[in-house]
Amino acid sequence: MSTPTWTRGAAAVATLTFDVDAETPILAEGRRFAEQPMVMSHQSYGPDVGVPRILDLLDEMSIPATFFVPGWVAEQRPGLAASIVERGHEVAHHSYSHRAPTSLPPGAERADFERAMDVFTAQGIEITGHRAAMWSASLETHSLVREYGLSYDSSLMGDDRPYQVETPHGPVVELPVHWSLDDWEQYAYLPEPRIGSVIESPVKVEEMWRAELDGMRHYRCLFNVCMHPFLTGRPGRMLALRNLIAYAQECGDVTFARCRDVAEWAREDADTPTRLLPAYDIDESVYPH
Confidence of residue 225 (pLDDT cuts 50, 70, 90): very high
In 3D, which of 287, 212, 285, 223 has the Cα closest to residue 254? 223
pLDDT digits (tens, 9 = 90+) for 60-90: 999 999 999 999 999 999 999 999 999 999 9
- pTM (two decimals): 0.97
What is the CA angle 207-209-211, rounded to 5? Answer: 70
- Inter-residue contact 226 to 177 (CB < 8 Å): yes
pLDDT reported for residue 164 = 98
pLDDT digits (tens, 9 = 90+) for 120-155: 999 999 999 999 999 999 999 999 999 999 999 999
* C-alpha 245: how far from chain center: 18
pLDDT reported for residue 169 = 96
What is the CA angle 69-71-77, rounded to 5? Answer: 80
- Inter-residue contact 161 to 205 (CB < 8 Å): no
Annotate 81-139 with DSSP letters as a single string: HHHHHTTT-EEEE--SS---GGGSPTTHHHHHHHHHHHHHHHTT----EE--GGG---T
Sequence ranges of the domains in the chain: 12-272
CA within 13 Å, CB half, 141: 29
- For residue 1, pLDDT over 60 is answered with no
CA within 13 Å, CB half, 187: 25
Selecting from 3.10.310.10, 1.10.357.10, 3.20.20.370, 3.90.79.10, what CATH number does the domain 12-272 have?
A: 3.20.20.370
Q: What is the mean pLDDT of residues 260-280?
A: 95
Burial class (CB in 10 A: 0-12, 13-18, 19+), 7: buried
Cα-flanking dihedrals φ and ψ of residue 190, to 5°?
-145, 140
